[in-house]
């Protein structure tokens, strides 16, 4: 680990050198079409790189076609290489690094019908997929596990060939690898279920295989939950076990997030979702039933007032338990917050909403133009993962929807 006095200091993560400690979090951009990145996605990440981040993260790149959650999401195959190379080059041209967040949704498929039962850690009813007719899920077999490991490896190798500097395996928020880690999903009675050590066994196997395949060329990161945030979910003590297992598997850094997409979005964002805006955007796209379900979900959520650095107490416990680099995420809104993360022993600081609000925030922190973000945590930006123009801050001018209809590699 490298001690830091400033978030503007460079840092080395595995084979990767970053110009500073600020990382744009993987947050669903909705800037892809037919499984390919669009020119809107290129602009989004180019703007972040030009705005000063050390590294930007491309969200939710599925390792297989059936691993998508929403129908347009990027899925990794040779056909998308030209588009991915345009994306990575745009970021490199601005002096930043770029990470590919690779994952598999498993049973968390909310935007399309999947043929047959979705895979997961355990069998049974699939509440996340029910709105699109994915009513049931099946427990993965050893053959399924071997296939998914191979898919993650192939996706990481494709990311390397496309010019990415890092891969981030998403093991949080209720996606497939988290469906093993979290007792909310994992009811297995074999060596992959029961104890926290057993539940992380398969995710650690995936990471070790990816590390072996690309670890000399790419930094291999994992995004994990510090806790699920709900009763009977994974606790911070479970997260410590997960972090220690991933350290042993060879992770170069862990990104510390929290919460689950179905059970505890309020915990994930440190504040309640903007259900009214989500419902309005969904209705505009003809998703009336989904909009009604989203609105109904708000009635069962606890009322949460946003506070800065809302995952700090959890993350401190993980910091004390492992030696590998950790990236702090959760309620960082000011330069003082970022400096506190460095003082607490975290190697990097990860932001999403503050950078959606202002992609140039890091440069403004450095110049002294700003000391804190103008983001008000309204969470309306989250609603626009369902919009044809992609996510944007509602306090800014809207995105150009035309850019989201053109593949990244299309000739102007």
Is 60 part of the annotated catalytic residue set?
no
Whole-Å CA distances, 387 to 106, 285, 291, 410:
23, 7, 13, 22
Buried/exposed code over 201-239 (b: 16+ C-beta within 10 A; e: otherwise): bbbbbbbbbbbebbbebbbbbbbbbbbbbbeebbbbebb
Token couple for 56: 């930007």
Please give the Cα distance from 403 to 45 (Å, whole number).
13
Which tokens belong to 296?
């109904």
Question: With b meaning 16 or more CB within 10 Å and e meaning fewer, what string describes 328-352?
Answer: bbbbbbbbebbbbbbeebbbbbbbb
Main-chain dihedrals φ then ψ at residue 136, nearest 5 degrees: -130, 155
Query: Which value, to the nearest 10 degrees, does the dihedral of the CA atoms of residues 381, 284, 288, 276 take?
Result: 40
**Encoding tokens for residue 24?**
């744009």
How is residue 344 written in tokens? Answer: 């607490």
Pairing between β-strand 348-351 and β-strand 326-329 as defined by DSSP bridges:
parallel
Eight-state DSSP code of residue 79? G
Q: Which two tokens stand for residue 224?
A: 């994990």
Could you say which of 175, 192, 314, 328 is catalytic? 175
Q: How far apart are CA 156 and CA 162, in angstroms?
A: 10
∠ CA 11-41-22 to the nearest 5 degrees?
Answer: 20
Strand segments (E) across 228-294: 253-257
Burial class (CB in 10 A: 0-12, 13-18, 19+), 286: exposed
Among all residues, which ones are annotated catalytic?
175
């Amino acid at each position: 680990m490298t001690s830091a006095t400033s978030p503007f200091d460079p840092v080395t993560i595995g084979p990767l050198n970053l110009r500073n400690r600020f990382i744009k979090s993987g947050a669903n951009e909705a800037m892809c079409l037919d499984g390919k990145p669009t020119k809107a996605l290129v602009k989004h990440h180019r703007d972040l790189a030009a705005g000063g981040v050390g590294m930007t993260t491309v969200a939710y790149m599925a390792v297989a076609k059936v691993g998508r959650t929403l129908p347009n999401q990027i899925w990794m195959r040779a056909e998308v290489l030209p588009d991915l190379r345009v994306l990575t080059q745009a970021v490199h041209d601005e002096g930043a690094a770029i990470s590919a967040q690779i994952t598999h949704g498993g049973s968390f498929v909310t935007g399309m019908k999947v043929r047959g039962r979705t895979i997961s850690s355990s069998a049974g009813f699939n509440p996340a997929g029910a709105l699109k007719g994915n009513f049931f899920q099946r427990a993965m077999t050893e053959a399924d596990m071997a296939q998914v490991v191979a898919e993650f490896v192939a996706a990481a190798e494709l990311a390397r060939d496309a010019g990415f500097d890092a891969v981030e395996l998403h093991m949080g928020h209720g996606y497939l690898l988290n469906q093993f880690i979290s007792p909310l999903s994992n009811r297995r009675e074999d060596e992959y279920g029961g104890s926290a050590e057993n539940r992380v066994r398969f995710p650690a196997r995936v990471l070790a295989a990816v590390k072996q395949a690309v670890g000399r060329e790419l930094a291999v990161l994992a995004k994990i939950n510090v806790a699920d945030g709900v009763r009977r979910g994974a606790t911070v003590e479970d997260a410590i076990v997960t972090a220690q297992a991933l350290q042993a598997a060879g992770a170069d850094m862990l990104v510390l997030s929290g919460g689950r997409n179905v059970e505890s979005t309020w915990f994930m964002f440190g504040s309640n979702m903007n259900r009214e805006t989500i419902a309005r955007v969904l209705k505009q796209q003809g998703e009336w039933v989904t909009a009604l379900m989203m609105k109904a979900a708000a009635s069962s959520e606890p009322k949460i007032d946003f506070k800065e650095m809302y995952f700090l107490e959890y993350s401190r416990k993980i910091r004390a338990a492992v030696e590998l680099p950790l990236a702090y995420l959760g309620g960082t809104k000011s330069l003082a917050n970022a400096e506190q993360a460095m003082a607490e022993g975290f190697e990097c600081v990860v932001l999403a909403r503050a950078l959606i609000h202002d992609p140039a925030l890091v440069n403004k922190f450095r110049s002294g133009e700003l000391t804190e973000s103008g983001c008000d945590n309204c969470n309306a930006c989250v609603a626009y993962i369902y919009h044809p123009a992609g996510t944007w801050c509602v306090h800014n001018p809207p995105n150009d929807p035309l850019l989201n209809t053109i593949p990244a590699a299309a000739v102007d």
